[in-house]
């Protein structure tokens, strides 16, 4: 379970990007975060894995207070937080297998990584996951020879190779065509169920959020102003999230306002 309490993120003396934010994610649910650019969606994800340092508040993953960790303990905790990026973040000159194995860097020695001597169990698991997402045939292909959808599948497998306790996806379909976007969203949804893994997705495409996720969180100006089932995301909710009604920055729940 991921439990975020009273999370604040500020940059300098400006207004906070995240404002006393509370969010809990349990089980194998797929949760999407929607909102206008600047709402704080990406900052929220990056605070969870400590790519961005929270200003204050609590982030607890399965009993571990992530905000209190430093050094070796933080590196160990990050192994359990898989991340799928909008821009794929692959090393183009490396093969698919080599990129996938980078998800195990926190588990093997530096020497083994440099020499690319991956444990047999890691290679077996990589082939298993690549087969599952449909890219096993590209194991020895350089990453720069793949299509966008294939590259994102590599990113998904790399994240899963970490054996994560939660999977974060920051705009995973933004660089893809509509058909491929739907395939990636469907893949993330299916993998969440198969691996019993909670997935938190920052996404601009509201239609995909409604179709492929179990719960939608709407953000506006650093606060959560909607948190409900996709079926509850009506025109009034969309207006508050994207147009900024007078109540949009008060932190209230949509169900209280309706």
Q: pLDDT digit of tens for each residue in the chain (258 aa)?
A: 999 999 999 988 878 999 999 999 988 899 999 999 889 999 999 999 999 999 999 999 999 999 999 999 998 999 999 999 988 999 999 999 999 999 998 787 777 777 778 899 999 999 999 999 999 999 999 999 999 999 999 999 999 999 999 999 999 999 899 999 999 999 999 999 999 999 999 999 999 999 999 999 999 999 999 999 999 999 999 999 998 644 434 333 333 332
pLDDT of residue 142: 97
Instruction: Tell whether pTM > 0.85.
Output: yes
Residue 195 covered by a domain: yes
How many angstroms separate the CA atoms of 33 and 212, rounded?
12
Q: At what angle do helices 178-195 and 148-160 cross, to 10 degrees?
A: 20
Residue 258 covered by a domain: no
pLDDT of residue 182: 95
Q: Which domain holds residue 152?
A: 2-242
| Number of domain units in the chain | 1
Question: Which CATH number do you get for residue 140?
Answer: 3.40.50.300
pLDDT of residue 244: 61
Token pair in block for residue 20: 């006393």
Residue 80 covered by a domain: yes
Residue 13 covered by a domain: yes
Residue 255 covered by a domain: no
Residue 98 · residue 90 · CB < 8 Å = no
Q: Are strands 56-61 and 166-170 parallel, antiparallel or unpaired?
A: unpaired
Residue 112 covered by a domain: yes
Residue 257 covered by a domain: no
Residue 167 · residue 196 · CB < 8 Å = no
pLDDT of residue 217: 98
Residue 7 covered by a domain: yes
pLDDT of residue 64: 95
């Amino acid at each position: 379970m991921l439990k975020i309490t009273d999370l604040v993120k500020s940059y300098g003396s400006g207004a906070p990007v995240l404002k006393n934010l509370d969010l809990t994610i349990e089980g194998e649910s797929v949760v999407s975060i929607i909102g206008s650019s600047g709402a704080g969606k990406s900052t929220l994800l990056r605070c969870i894995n400590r790519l961005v340092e929270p200003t204050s508040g609590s982030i607890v993953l399965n009993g571990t207070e992530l905000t209190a960790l430093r050094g070796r303990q933080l590196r160990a905790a990050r192994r359990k937080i898989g991340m799928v990026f909008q821009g794929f973040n692959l090393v183009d000159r490396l093969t698919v297998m080599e990129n996938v194995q980078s998800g195990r860097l926190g588990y093997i020695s530096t020497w083994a990584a440099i020499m690319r001597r991956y444990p047999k169990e890691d290679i077996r698991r990589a082939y298993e996951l690549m087969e599952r997402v449909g890219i096993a045939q590209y194991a020895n292909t350089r990453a720069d020879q793949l299509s966008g959808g294939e590259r994102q599948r590599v990113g998904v497998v790399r994240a899963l190779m970490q054996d994560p306790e939660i999977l974060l996806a920051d705009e995973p379909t933004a660089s893809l065509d509509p058909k491929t976007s739907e395939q990636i969203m469907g893949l993330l949804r299916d993998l969440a169920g198969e691996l019993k893994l909670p997935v938190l997705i920052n996404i601009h495409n509201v239609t995909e959020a409604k179709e492929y996720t179990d719960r939608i969180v709407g953000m506006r100006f650093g606060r959560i102003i909607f948190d409900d089932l996709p079926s509850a995301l009506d025109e009034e909710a969309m207006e508050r999230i994207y147009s900024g009604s007078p109540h949009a920055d008060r932190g209230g729940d949509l169900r209280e306002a309706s």
